[in-house]
Copies of this chain bind each other. A is one copy, B any other.
Amino acid sequence: MSDSRRVATVRDVAKLAGVSPGTVSKALNGVGQLSAETRAKVQEAAAALDFQPNHTARSLASGRTFTVGVITSDSFGRFTIPVMLGIEDSLAAGQVSTMLCDGRGDPVREHQLMERLIGRQVDGIVVTGRRRDPRQSLGRVPVPVVYVLSESLDPDDLSITYDDEHGTQVAAHHLLSTGRRHLAYVGGPERHLASRLRRVGVERALAAEGLELDPNLAMYGQWSESWGRSAATIVLRSGRSVDGIVCASDQIARGVLDGLREHNVHVPDDIAVVGFDNWDVMVQGARPLLTTVDPHLESLGREAATRLLAAIQGDQPIEGGMVTRPCELVIRDSA
């Protein structure tokens, strides 16, 4: 379906309202000083003509496109989505739209995307990625940039992320405070920063009670359910009387849960289990419902966008550094 009537411009509105185009602009944008009367007259005319300002022309004249670019290395995946929702949430109010690009984790491609976004005159850029591992900086960019989730290796960039260590620390603390004493940690691959940081969190919580994490019960593996199942078996066969397991992801936790059930171990009575991510699909499918750590990705996105907006409007320039937000433990039935 297509409608080819020519669309109204400021000139048409001006003519109908009996004023000049400049006045129309001021009236509709609420800038400058105008009599309430004129303003009303213009608004009426605009409404009558169903006037929609031409965004492109506005951008060219004002130098702002009211668009921010988002470059992700997560292929629009599970981590990017909540971050995007947060970004949109805080941008929508300012009538700012986003342009999502998938860098596929390739620095060269990311750089091209950045240049393309710059060519499109975006007002700012958010860079986000799969997981926590630090990433290369985009380098010099003529507009403000904020990194979310994956921190930039350049300390002059602003990175906003969550606190892995704190997340598992809270999880382990919960286990300890409900009487568990012998904890195990089931991580993802050791090469992933998140795996290592989350282990430290468990150790911290134990240390606070004068306890230690048995190195044999601190394991690295994959980010998968099947690794979780294997890990459950390993824990049970270890001969150690484990009564609580902190997992580095909900997927792993689900595997652990399944593994334990197959060995007729009752959760949470015999062993309590905590996950990480608060990923609804995993959490809801798990039996019992999974107690897990929520990194609040959406609010990270919201914060990134808010900072970016402030920088764009010139209120507050971006200053480099790491912002690390706490996680929250969501208690359900597994611990």
Residue A324 at the B interface, CB < 8 A? no
Cβ–Cβ < 8 Å partners of A140 in chain B:
1-3
Mask: chain A, 137-167; 1 = CB below 8 Å from B; 0 = not: 1011111110000000010110000000000
* A85 interfacial contact with B, CB 8 Å: yes
Contact in complex: A65, B76 (CB < 8 Å) = no
- Interchain nearest-CB distance for A308 vs B (Å): 13
User: In the complex where A1-B157, A52-B118, A56-B120 touch, is A254 in contact with B142 (Cβ < 8 A)?
Assistant: no
How far, in angstroms, from A88 to B56 measured CA to CA in the complex? 22
Q: In the complex, what residue of chain B is closest to A261 when comparing beta carbons?
A: B262
Cross-chain contact A119 with B285 (CB below 8 angstroms): no
A224 at interface, CB cutoff 8 A: yes
Contact among B56, B99, B281 for A97, CB-based, below 8 A: B99
Contacts A141-B3, A284-B224 known; A56 to B54 CB distance under 8 Å? no
Taking a contact as CB atoms under 8 Å apart, the answer to whether A284 and B225 are in contact is: yes
Interface centre among A77, A142, A254 (most CB of B within 10 A): A142
A285 touches B81 (CB 8 A): no
Q: Tell yes or no: A169 within 8 A of B by CB.
A: no
What are the interface flags for A52-82 relative to B under an 8 Å C-beta threshold, 1 for contact and 0 otherwise?
1111110110000101000000011100010
Interface: A121 (CB within 8 A): yes
- Say yes or no: A7 contacts B101, CB within 8 Å: no
Least distance between A267 CB and chain B CB atoms (Å)? 15
Inside 8 A of A255's CB, which chain B residues have their CB?
285
Measured CB to CB, the nearest residue on chain B to A145 is B1
Question: What 0/1 pattern do residues 97 to 140 of A give for CB contact below 8 A with B?
Answer: 11111100000000000011011110000000000000001011
CB distance from A300 to the nearest CB of B (A): 16
Question: Looking across the interface, which residue of chain B has its beta carbon closest to that of A89?
Answer: B102
Cross-interface CB contact of A60 among B56, B67, B142, cutoff 8 Å: B56
Give the residues in chain B near A65, CB-CB below 8 Å.
56
Alpha-carbon distance A254/B258, docked complex (angstroms): 13
Closest-by-CB residue of B relative to A101 is B97
**Cβ of A84 under 8 Å from chain B:** yes
Asked if A85 contacts B102 (CB within 8 A), the reply is: yes
Q: How far is the CA of A57 from the CA of B119 in the complex (A)?
A: 10
Q: What residue in chain B is nearest A156 (Cβ atoms)?
A: B1
Q: Which residues of B contact A154 (CB under 8 A)?
A: 1
Which of A4, A119, A145, A284 counts the most chain B CB atoms within 10 A?
A119
A-B contact pairs, 16 of them (CB 8 A): A1-B139, A1-B140, A1-B156, A1-B157, A53-B119, A54-B119, A56-B65, A77-B81, A88-B102, A97-B99, A97-B120, A225-B284, A225-B285, A226-B284, A251-B281, A255-B285
Q: Which residues of A contact B (CB under 8 A)?
A: 1-4, 7, 52-57, 59-60, 65, 67, 75-77, 81, 84-85, 88, 97-102, 115-116, 118-121, 137, 139-145, 154, 156-157, 224-226, 251, 254-255, 281, 284-285
Beyond A97-B120, A98-B100, list 4 extra A-B contacts (CB 8 Å): A2-B142, A55-B119, A56-B121, A226-B284
